[in-house]
């Protein structure tokens, strides 16, 4: 697992990561999400919803990882997560 994915686990432990489609959509709408990670192999409906919300609210969307990658990093099955802390988001993007 690479350093970026390890950072997701740290953010989760610190309570600065939101996971799960409904929770991520809520975080996007409330402008809490700084960076959204969407599994490249998730369903078409989920992709469309998340892409549209991120585009509308101008939130950076990353689709470089698979469901397996995100699930391994977090220890539970996930297809979409978001970082809610500016520091974690900057660190994730800079690595």
What does the pLDDT look like over 10-27, one tens digit per residue?
A: 999 999 999 999 999 999
Share of the chain above pLDDT 70, in %: 99
Is the per-residue pLDDT at 49 higher than 80?
Answer: yes
Is the per-residue pLDDT at 1 higher than 70?
Answer: no
Q: How many Cα atoms occupy the beta-carbon half-sphere of 91 within 13 Å?
A: 15
Report CA-CA distances (Å) from 92 to 1, 5, 40, 79: 14, 8, 18, 18
Specify the pLDDT at position 2: 84
Can you read off the two tokens belonging to residue 82?
């978001």
Q: Which of 9, 3, 2, 75 is nearest to 83 (CA)?
A: 9
pLDDT tens, residue by residue, 65-85:
999 999 999 999 999 999 999
Helix (H) or strand (E) holding 82: strand 80-83
CATH annotation of 3-94? 3.30.1330.30
């Amino acid at each position: 697992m690479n350093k970026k994915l390890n950072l997701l686990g740290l953010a989760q432990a610190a309570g600065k990561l939101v996971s799960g489609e409904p929770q991520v959509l809520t975080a996007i709408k409330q402008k809490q999400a700084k960076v959204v990670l969407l599994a490249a192999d998730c369903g078409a409906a989920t992709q469309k919803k998340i892409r549209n919300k991120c585009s509308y609210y101008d939130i950076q969307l990353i689709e470089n990882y698979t469901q397996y990658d995100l699930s391994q990093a977090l220890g539970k099955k996930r297809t979409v997560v978001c970082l809610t802390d500016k520091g974690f988001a900057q660190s994730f993007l800079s690595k």
